[in-house]
Amino acid sequence: MASVDLTSVADLSVEPGTLPEKMTAWVIRKEREGEPIDAFQLEEIEVPDPGPFEVTVRVMAAGVNYNNVWAALGQPVSVFRYHPEEDHHIGGSDASGIVWKVGTGVTRWTPGDEVIIHCNQASYEDVEVHGLDPLAAPSQKIWGYETSWGSFAQFTKVQAQQLIPKPRNLTWEEAASYGLVYFTAYRMLIDQCHLKAGHKVLIWGAAGGLGVFAVQLCAAAGAECVGVVSSKEKGDLVMQLGATGYIDRNEFKGMMRKGGESADEEKERFGESRRFGKAVKELLGDAPDIVFEHVGKATFPTSVFVLKPFGKVVICAGTTGFNLDFDVRYLWMRQKQIIGSHFANAYECMKANQLIDQGKIRPVLWRTMGFDGVAEAHQLMRDNKHLGKIAILVGAEKEGLGRSEDGPGAIKAEVGA
């Protein structure tokens, strides 16, 4: 670790409205892409001034996401391809903080406002933003992944449209922990699949970042869901969040697609997928109307197979591999749909956040770490030793600060590494 003084990360000598020249940040550089524990290094770096319709926010806490595991690894592509104009990558696509300086044209926010930040950016000049969806804009980028100036720093620079009022019933770390995964799960289920009361849903990785919110959305909507997990502790968490049941995937290891299997191995794998489908049906009383996918290569053939006729597989990632192959007969003969989904637009983020304001959906926080923990947190995630979400204290001196109203707060996920 570079010799950067971390004792003063929570201290500032300037008031809202004025930026200091330098800040402390966790930085990935092209030449050290690799395991997160080494790729992230502390550096002193200039504080970004906000341009037109931009805001510089003092980060009070940041949220850890899988996207900066990919950024550290430089896989499947190096993030420096996305922002060639900057040779540093300050990751971090979730934050809670205080508006510190606003750029020209910003009228809705003033220094001192308490906010959380959603991670979708797009140019105001792209026509898709004004009638289709900002996610369709050619300029669309995920802040803190496809852009630099993310939240693992004392200050971050964002577009004004990314700001959402911070829920008053949450601490800084709780408020920083959920946006990226929760807003993604919201779009996948509510807008892409039109989740309804009575629907039956299968959720892969149900105790992970996306999964804990997919389970809660199902419970809030009156839908039944089964979560797939890899331990009893994770299963207990999923039940606590409102799932109808859970399945430990270790009992169905043979259903995972590895690639390059022989015809006999394929047949055997298919038998295991069938056995898994039966277990899902037993728990839900029927085959699922919706399969919530992000695992990709290993699970996708099973997802398409177990789905009910006319059902939907909604997918936002391929953690185990991006090249999916599956028996397409089960898709066309049973008229199933595959829907790709990526993050959420500002309107969806705002609607989803209202459910957090109302305490109907709660952050699921596994661990809060100090600013020194950024590299370690990403390594834990890379090694699948976490559950729920990890938050990082930046401007907040300790846990428990920032709440100004009563509310249920976060669910604490107690088990794991």
φ/ψ of residue 70, rounded to 5: -60, -40
Does 184 bind ligand NAP (CB under 6 A)? Our answer is yes
Q: Which is nearer to ligand NAP, 67 or 171 (CB)?
A: 67
Question: Residue 249 or 312: which CB sits closer to ligand NAP?
Answer: 249
Q: Which of residues 309-328 bind ligand NAP (CB under 6 A)?
A: 316-317, 319-320
Q: Does 57 bind ligand NAP (CB under 6 A)?
A: no
Of the pair 154, 345, the CB lying nearest ligand NAP is at 345
375: exposed, middle or buried (Cβ count in 10 Å: 0-12, 13-18, 19+): buried
HSE-up of residue 271 (Cα within 13 Å, Cβ side): 7
* Least distance in angstroms from the C-beta of 35 to ligand NAP: 16
Work out whether 367 is an interface residue with ligand NAP (CB under 6 A): no
36 binds ligand NAP (CB under 6 A): no
Residue 72 interacting with ligand NAP (CB under 6 A): no
Q: Determine, following the binding rule CB under 6 A, whether residue 120 of this chain makes contact with ligand NAP.
A: no
Residue 232: Cβ within 10 Å count: 11
| Part in contact with ligand NAP (CB under 6 A); list of ranges 6-14, 226-234, 392-400, 402-410 | 226-234
Q: Which stretch binds ligand NAP (CB under 6 A): 41-49, 206-214, 366-374, 403-411?
A: 206-214
Binding region for ligand NAP (CB under 6 A) out of 98-106, 163-171, 215-223, 229-237: 229-237
Report if residue 89 touches ligand NAP, rule: CB under 6 A. no
Residue 382 engages ligand NAP in binding (rule: CB under 6 A) = no
User: Does residue 246 belong to the site contacting ligand NAP (CB under 6 A)?
Assistant: no
Q: Which of 25, 73, 129, 180 binds ligand NAP (CB under 6 A)?
A: 180
Task: Considering the complex, state which of residue 8 and residue 384 has its C-beta at the smaller distance from ligand NAP.
Answer: 384
- Reduced 3-state DSSP string for the chain: CCCCCCCCCCCCCCCCCCCCCEEEEEEECHHHCCCHHHHCEEEEEECCCCCCCEEEEEEEEEECCCHHHHHHHCCCCCHHHCCCCCCCECCCCCEEEEEEEECCCCCCCCCCCEEEECCEECCCCCHHHHCCCHHHCCCCEECCCCCCCCCCECEEEEEHHHEEECCCCCCHHHHHCCHHHHHHHHHHHHHHCCCCCCCEEEECCCCCHHHHHHHHHHHHHCCEEEEEECCHHHHHHHHHCCCCEEEEHHHHHHHCCCCCCCHHHHHHHHHHHHHHHHHHHHHHCCCCCEEEECCCCCCHHHHHHHCCCCCEEEECCCCCCCCCCCCCHHHHCCCCEEEECCCCCHHHHHHHHHHHHCCCCCCEEEEEECHHHHHHHHHHHHCCCCCCEEEEECCCCCCCCCCCCCCCCCEECCCCC
Nearer to ligand NAP, 9 or 317 (CB): 317
To the nearest whole angstrom, how small is the minimum distance from the Cβ of residue 84 to ligand NAP?
22
Select the residue interacting with ligand NAP from 40, 292, 343, 366 (CB under 6 A).
343
Strand partners, 344: none
291 is an interface residue for ligand NAP by CB under 6 A: no
Residue 230 interacting with ligand NAP (CB under 6 A): yes
Nearer CB in complex with ligand NAP: 60/380: 380
Q: Which residue is nearest to ligand NAP (CB)?
A: 208
Q: Among residues 89, 199, 234, 378, which is the contact residue for ligand NAP, using CB under 6 A?
A: 234
Q: Contact 155/50 with Cβ under 8 angstroms?
A: no
| Nearer Cβ to ligand NAP (388/402) | 388
Contact status: 162 vs ligand NAP (CB under 6 A): no
Q: Does 295 bind ligand NAP (CB under 6 A)?
A: yes
Binding site for ligand NAP (CB under 6 A): 65-67, 180-181, 184, 204-205, 207-211, 228-230, 234, 249, 294-295, 298-299, 316-317, 319-320, 342-343, 381, 384
